[in-house]
Structures are given as structure tokens and as C-alpha cells.
Amino acid sequence: MRLILLGPPGAGKGTQAKMLKEKFQIPQISTGDILRQAVKDNTELGAKAKTVMDAGQLVPDNIVIGLIKERIRQGDCKTGFILDGFPRNITQAKKLSETLQDMNLAIDNVIDLEVDEGEVVERLTGRSTCPECGAMFHQVSRPPKVNEVCDSCGGKLEQRPDDNKETIEKRLKVYSESTAPLKEFYSKQESLRTVEAKGTVEEIFSRVCLMIE
């Protein structure tokens, strides 16, 4: 199964992608996670991406398209994959279609997680993540058992540098200008499924699974 998760920052793409990965045993490919890892590792890619990410803007298309082209050709993607945070604009979507066509493959479902702006701001400002294992928490909806400590590995939880009010506003603007038009792009291809992304994580997961099974 090849799946795209669409939705604004904080819609729950990463949360749902991790659950889908477990259920269907296919990899989650998050361009945001790949870029954050590059920043952490101080690579050339990380140096290019950091300023752009901290400003809430999109990393240049050629960089992310190159990353995805390489990633989906890896062996663990043979039975499928979940794209989380890619594509982010029409150029990226067209390049993805071309690449998949060259490989005689296609996307099966595009799931759009629909949630209002007030809710996403609340989710993002309350989010913390474990830099060691990637586990995700929220101060209200999924608090860690011990304050600022990861339940899974004991790592010290961090807030993402782009999860502040000013940058969240910029990310939401970029989303509505560049990413939201993908809904029309994929609905024309009849692969778009809209899921109401309000409610508990488990409720949303059930809705997503109903759409794709």
C-alpha cells in the first residue's frame, strides 16, 4: 500500500503515520524527520535546511524531491510506504507521480486530515518530542508519565524550534498557499479521502483505516 498523508501542521500526520506503520508493516517516510536528522547530524543538507525550517518556510523542491526519489527506491519500500509531509506543493506532487510512473507504481490513497486552525495551534504549542527515539507527547492529550522525560527510552523531551506561535503562523500560511491546493490536485485523480481529524488519536486512526481497507 502506498499512501500520502496530507493536512496542516499539527493535523496529526506523524501520529497517524506511526500507527499505520505498525499496523501495515510499511515504512513511514517523513521529510520533516529526515531533514531534522540532517540538522542534528550537522550535515551539508542539515546546514541548508535549518534556517529555512526555523523560519517555517519550505526547503527547496530539488532537495526534498531528491531525498524522496532515493528513499522510495530502497528495499523496505517494496511492499509500500506512508508519505508524511511530502508532497508539499504541486511541483513536488508532479515529480512524485513521474517517479512512480517510471517505477510502474502508483499512489493508492491520499488521506487528508481535516482539522481547524485553533486545534492545530493548541496541538503544536503543547507538543514535545524525544530526540533519542522520536516518541511524541502532548502536555494535555498525551502527557509523559514523568515531566519532560520520554516514557519509552528515558530521553529528555524537547520542543521543536519551529513550534512557537510566530513560526506556527508562518507554517500555516505556507500550508494554505502551497500545500492546500494539493487537495484539488488529488481529488481530480480521485485518490483523495477526507478524514475528520478531531477526536482522540484512536478515533481518527479507526476513520483512516476504514478509508483505506
Catalytic residue numbers, as ranges:
13, 88, 127, 160, 171
> Residue 29 CB, nearest distance to ligand AP5 (Å)?
10
- Please work out the total of residues on this chain that contact ligand AP5, with binding judged by CB under 6 A: 34
Residue type present at position 31: T
Residue type present at position 1: M
Between 104 and 202, whose beta carbon lies closer to ligand AP5?
202
A 10 A CB-CB count for 146 gives 10
CA 150 to chain centre: 21
Neighbour-count burial of 213, counting CB atoms closer than 10 A to its CB (0-12 exposed, 13-18 middle, 19+ buried): exposed
Name residues contacting ligand AP5, limited to 113-152 (CB under 6 A): 123-124, 127, 136, 138, 141-142
131's grid cell:
530526540
Round to whole Å and give the CA distance between 71 and 3: 14
Round to whole Å and give the CA distance between 89 and 127: 25
> Residue 151 CB, nearest distance to ligand AP5 (Å)?
12
Out of 2, 3, 6, 13, name the contact with ligand AP5 by CB under 6 A: 13
Between 26 and 87, whose beta carbon lies closer to ligand AP5?
87
By CB under 6 A, name the binding residues for ligand AP5: 7, 9-15, 31-32, 35, 52-53, 56-59, 64, 85-86, 88, 92, 123-124, 127, 136, 138, 141-142, 162, 171, 200-201, 204
